Amino acid sequence: MGPPPSESPEVGQQVEAFIGRWGGREGGAERANFHSFLRELCDVIGVGKPEPAAAEPSHNDYVFERAVRRRDSDPSHHPRYIDLYKRRCFIMEAKQSRRCCTRSPAMAM
């Protein structure tokens, strides 16, 4: 019996390719890169990708750019958006760094 899928050489190569593609990026455009980054990350970690958004927000269980209303105390009536939303699991707001990062010793392991 071989190693579990998460420990296979193919998965390791896929992870290294992902890190190589995205690890050295700095600056850029958050909105331009976020969807591509997250879709590729979903492939690497083996989870489903977000679904296309529906017109009815209550049907948008796992989507990019989920519309939300502001609190009643807020006089603004403009819709706001969550970058990535998965009902009962998480919300994610993307922020693209303007700084170049280096791999920490822990990441090199």
At residue 107, the pLDDT reads 47
Q: CA 65, CA 79: separation in Å to the nearest integer? A: 11
Q: CA 28, CA 97: separation in Å to the nearest integer? A: 8
- Cα Rg of the chain (Å, integer): 18
**pTM over the 0.85 mark:** no
pLDDT in tens, 11-26: 889 999 999 988 877 6
The tally of domains found in the chain comes to: 1
* H/E element, 95: none
Q: CA 52, CA 107: separation in Å to the nearest integer? A: 33
pLDDT in tens, 16-58: 999 998 887 766 666 778 899 899 999 999 999 999 999 888 8
Q: Is it the case that residue 92 has pLDDT exceeding 80? A: yes
Which range marks the domain in which residue 44 is found?
5-108
pLDDT in tens, 72-88: 666 667 778 899 999 99
At residue 86, the pLDDT reads 94
Strand residue runs (E) in 1-109: 62-68, 80-86, 90-92
